[in-house]
Amino acid sequence: MSRVLLLLRKDLLVLRRSPVLLGVLVAYPLLIALLVGLVASYGSAKPRVALVDEDGLPEVLEVGGQRFRVNRTIERVSREVDLVRLSKEEAERQLESGEVVASVTVPRGFVSDLRGMVRSPRLILETTRGGLAPRVTQQVQALVYSLNRELQDAYIEANLEYIDLLLDGGVGTFLGRRFDVLGLRGTRRVLEGLPAGPKLDAIREFVRAAELALAQTDDALRATANPIELEQAPERGRSWVLSAQVQAYALGLTVTFLALVLAAGALAAERDENVLGRLSRGLVGLGEVVGAKVALAATVAVVLGLALALAFGLAIEVGDVAGGEPWSRLPLLAVGLALTGASVGALGALLGALAGEARTASLVALLVVLPIVFLGLVPREVVPVAGVISDGLPFAHAVRFFGAALYDVSPWGSVGVEAAWLLGLAALFGGLARVGMRRLVA
């Protein structure tokens, strides 16, 4: 058996005899993944927004002949925000203290403008500074858009009633005044009782054409209001929890954490146990010691990563979720796990060699692993520097490899590029770790 395999077997035996350590190493990244998920879901949680009613919105508002129950309408259109009614002073105080992230003010004259249908009524939006402001602005814009849709429907209905009145005649009201209208059909009936003649024929023809045109107005008016209408189909596909992205990130996070901490701790432990001197007397080369730690990280990454992938696969099967290649791509995934484990393990070995003793190495690995992961999570388009730094670390490459391996129809291009990156990083960090180890045995 080769010397690397002998050391690997020893490390696996030591790991098996440390069940608490193994349990923590497995549970901790899963816990972190869960917390990251919670933080991510907080990103879509309802922000608290103040509603300042300076105009005294009535309980029921009639616009264009349509009656709106104001509270119910606001409730219906404000699903994305938690709208709380506050006085102007309280809203200003809470906005300053950050208790609300925005304030929407209904100014005086709003209701009369709305009822008048002549001038657009205005709402005033104030937001706090900081990261949430653009999102809140978007959500308030969505709220106003939804309100406009409801009002638009009411206006269209009101306009259509006037058109019906023009067509059929009857009693109408406008700005509170009642009036009788003969209507085109009534006009036609009156004209039919009059003697024929070229002038009367021209009037009859106009009435007939106007009748036909106004009969088409209903759909045309609705279409003008919504040139493009978005129809939402029933939900299908995977839930967020079972999405390809979440699987790739969960695998990447777990393997990165485990491989880094294990390799760093295991290499530094060789020095703690005072065996490096014994090993380096020609029994085992420094490169072989590093190789054993890289192999340890890769082995644990493959075993744990495949277990996670199997759990995901089973959940997908049980949930009868369509899409993806949960089973046939497992061998390719195993290759990615091994490469990721090796690459991260080499980085861990470097940290272990630099730290010199196991406790420091484990602490350093713990401190380093989260920035590595979060750098990989930051979108390159948002912070280009993060993307550049992340390219020099294994996490982002691992996530892209896993995503392609599990779900791309033709994964070979992406997988090839990311595999080359992971191999290159493994060689670089492994070489540096070997150099760093010289210091430990000096």
Toward other proteins, which CB reaches closer, 196 or 442? Answer: 442
Among 31, 273, 371, 388, the residue binding other proteins under the rule CB under 8 A is 273
Toward other proteins, which CB reaches closer, 10 or 185? Answer: 10
Give min distance, CB of 281 to other proteins, in A. Answer: 5
d(CA 191, CA 200) in angstroms, rounded, equals: 8
User: What sign does the dihedral 384-386-389-391 (CA atoms) show?
Assistant: negative
First to last CA, the chain: 28
Residue 442 lies near other proteins (rule: CB under 8 A): yes
Residue 19 lies near other proteins (rule: CB under 8 A): no
Toward other proteins, which CB reaches closer, 10 or 48? Answer: 10
Give min distance, CB of 349 to other proteins, in A. Answer: 18
Toward other proteins, which CB reaches closer, 69 or 438? Answer: 438
From the list 63-71, 182-190, 252-260, 272-280, the region that binds other proteins by CB under 8 A is 272-280
Among 106, 167, 279, 297, the residue binding other proteins under the rule CB under 8 A is 279
Toward other proteins, which CB reaches closer, 275 or 368? Answer: 275
d(CA 48, CA 389) in angstroms, rounded, equals: 36
Give min distance, CB of 363 to other proteins, in A. Answer: 20
Give min distance, CB of 238 to other proteins, in A. Answer: 43
d(CA 313, CA 330) in angstroms, rounded, equals: 10
Among 12, 14, 30, 133, the residue binding other proteins under the rule CB under 8 A is 14
The two tokens of residue 281 are 């007397």
Toward other proteins, which CB reaches closer, 25 or 253? Answer: 25
Toward other proteins, which CB reaches closer, 18 or 141? Answer: 18
Tokens 């009822």 correspond to 115
Among 52, 167, 284, 298, the residue binding other proteins under the rule CB under 8 A is 284
String of b and e for 253-275 (b: at least 16 CB within 10 Å)? bbbbbbbbbbbbbbbbbbbeeee
Among 133, 144, 423, 441, the residue binding other proteins under the rule CB under 8 A is 441
Residue 18 lies near other proteins (rule: CB under 8 A): yes
Among 227, 234, 282, 379, the residue binding other proteins under the rule CB under 8 A is 282
Residue 280 lies near other proteins (rule: CB under 8 A): yes
d(CA 157, CA 108) in angstroms, rounded, equals: 27
Among 76, 278, 359, 439, the residue binding other proteins under the rule CB under 8 A is 278
From the list 1-9, 142-150, 238-246, 390-398, the region that binds other proteins by CB under 8 A is 1-9
Residue 274 lies near other proteins (rule: CB under 8 A): yes
Residue 277 lies near other proteins (rule: CB under 8 A): yes
Residue 13 lies near other proteins (rule: CB under 8 A): yes
Number of residues interacting with other proteins: please give it, by CB under 8 A. Answer: 21
Residue 3 lies near other proteins (rule: CB under 8 A): yes
Toward other proteins, which CB reaches closer, 253 or 292? Answer: 292
Give min distance, CB of 14 to other proteins, in A. Answer: 4
Among 177, 240, 275, 425, the residue binding other proteins under the rule CB under 8 A is 275
For residue 69, list its beta bridge partners.
Answer: 60
Which residues of this chain interact with other proteins, rule CB under 8 A? 1, 3, 6, 10, 13-14, 17-18, 273-275, 277-284, 441-442
